[in-house]
Amino acid sequence: MVWLFVIMLGLFTLGAPIAWSMAAASAAYMMFGANVPLHGMVQRMIGGIDTFPLLAIPFFILAGSLMNTGGITDRLVTFARTLVGHITGGLAHVAVVANMIMAGMSGSGVADAAGTGSVLLPAMERARYGKGFSAAIVGAASTIGPIIPPSIPFVIYGSIANASIGRLLLGGAIPGVLMGLMLMAFVYWIARRRGYASERRASLHELGRAAVRALPPLGMPVIILGGIIGGVMTPTEAAAAGAAYAFVLGFFVYKELRAADLAKVITDSALSTAAICIIISAAQPFGWVLTLEQAPQAVFALFQSISLSQWQLYLALNILFLIVGCFMEGIAVMVMAIPVVMPIILQAGIDPVHFGVVYTVNSMIGTITPPVGMIMYVVCSLGKVSIAEFTREVWPFLIALTIALLLVTYIPSLAMWLPNLLLPAK
C-alpha cells in the first residue's frame, strides 16, 4: 500500500493534476499489485459519481456563474458597501460582508472569489490598499462561501458519509458568520495599524435604495433553504431552483445577462463541474484500494491503541487535515479520507454532521495556502499579485480562520443548534 502513495505523490510532485495522479496510482496497483481487472477501475470511477445528490453541484456552480454575469454580484457588493464601508478599513470589511451574502447563493468559494474579486480588487487598488492585502482579504473572505449554505462540499460530504445534507447545510450557517466576524476583527486591527481609510457613511436613503436593489437576490437563500427545510425540495431540486431564479433575475429583471452570454456561462459551469467530478471519480478507485488493503481498519486500530479522548482526536485530525490541505485539493482529500476516518468518528461518539462542518471549515483554510490553494490562485490572478506577496499578507487571516475552526470544533452547538432546531435527526 505504501507504494500506492509513492506513485501518487511522485506524479503530483512532477506536476501531474491530483486527479490523474490518484487514477494512475490506482491503475498501477490493479495491474501489478492485486491483479484486479482494469475494468473494475472504470466501474468504480463511474459508480462513484452516479449518485443523485451530486447533481446539486452543477446547479450551484451555474447559479454562481449567472450571478457574476447577470449583475447580481455588483448589487450585493454595493449593499455591503453601504452597510460597513464606513468602518475603519472600509473596503476590506465590504469584501467580508459581500462574501458572507454571496455565500448564501452560490456554494462555491472559487465562484465567490471571482465575483467579488473582479469588483473589489480594482476598487481597493484605487483606494490605495496594498495589492497583497487586498488579494489576501478577498481570498480569505471567499472561504466562507462553502460554509454558509448552500455548499458544494457539504453535498459531497453528505453523499460520502451518508449524512443528512439538509442538516449539514444548516450546520454551516453560524460557523460561516463566525468566520466573517473573526476576519473583520483582524481587518480592523490591521487597518488601524496601517492607516487604511474608511468610506463616507451611507445615508439612510442610500442604505434603503441599496437594500431594495439587493432584495431580489437575497430571495435566493430563502428559496434554497426554505425548500429544503419545508420538505418541498431535495437539496438537488433546491439547487436547480436557485439557478433558475438567478437566470430570471439576470435575464428578465436586471437585463444584464444577455443571450450571447449564456454559451460562456454554461461552458464555464460545465468545465468547473467536470473538474470537480473528475477528482471525485478518480478518488473512488483510490479509496477502494485503501479499503481492500484494510487501511480503515489499520487507522482505526492505531487510534484505539493510543486511546485519544474526543478533544484530542479532534485536535489530531484538525492538525492532520490542515497540513494535508496545504498540498492536496480539499475534495480529493475528502473522498479519500472520510471513508477511512468515519468509523473512528462514530466510535468516538462524534456527530457526523458536526464533523462534516469542522472538516469543511478546515479544508477551506487550505484553499488560501500555498502551494495548491485554488482560491489563492484565483485572487492572485485577478489582482496581479505574486504568490509570495499573497502569502506574506494572508497569515493574519489564517490565524483568524483557525481560531474560528477551533471554536466550531470545541463548541459543537455552534454547528448543531440550527440543525437540531429546524431539522431534528430522526
* pLDDT score of 426: 67
Q: pLDDT band at residue 225, thresholds of 50, 70 and 90? A: confident
Is 20 part of any domain? no
Instruction: Give dist(CA 299, CA 45) in Å, integer.
Output: 24
Percent of the chain with pLDDT over 90: 47
**For range 367-396, the mean pLDDT:** 90
Q: Is the pLDDT of residue 67 over 90?
A: no
Q: CB count, 10 Å around CB of 232?
A: 12
* 141 or 377, which is more confident: 141
Q: pLDDT band at residue 300, thresholds of 50, 70 and 90? A: low
Domain count, the chain: 1
Is 25 part of any domain? no
Q: What's the Rg (C-alpha) of the chain?
A: 21
Percent of the chain with pLDDT over 70: 98
Poorest-confidence range of 15-24, 171-180, 198-207, 396-405?
Answer: 15-24
* pLDDT score of 289: 81
Q: pLDDT band at residue 29, thresholds of 50, 70 and 90? A: confident
354 closest CA partner among 280, 415, 289:
415
Is 12 part of any domain? no
Q: Is the pLDDT of residue 191 over 90?
A: yes
Query: Is 65 in contact with 207 (CB distance < 8 Å)?
Result: no
Is 329 part of any domain? yes
Is 23 part of any domain? no
**What's the half-sphere exposure (Cβ side, CA atoms, 13 Å) at 321?**
29
* 260 or 336, which is more confident: 260
* pLDDT score of 119: 85
Is 18 part of any domain? no
Poorest-confidence range of 246-255, 268-277, 354-363?
Answer: 268-277
**For range 38-43, the mean pLDDT:** 78
Is 158 part of any domain? yes
Is 8 part of any domain? no
pTM: 0.88
What cell numbers appear for 266 in the block? Answer: 454554461
What average pLDDT does the structure give for the chain?
Answer: 88
Residue-range definition of the domain harbouring residue 314:
39-422
Instruction: Give dist(CA 99, CA 145) in Å, integer.
Output: 7
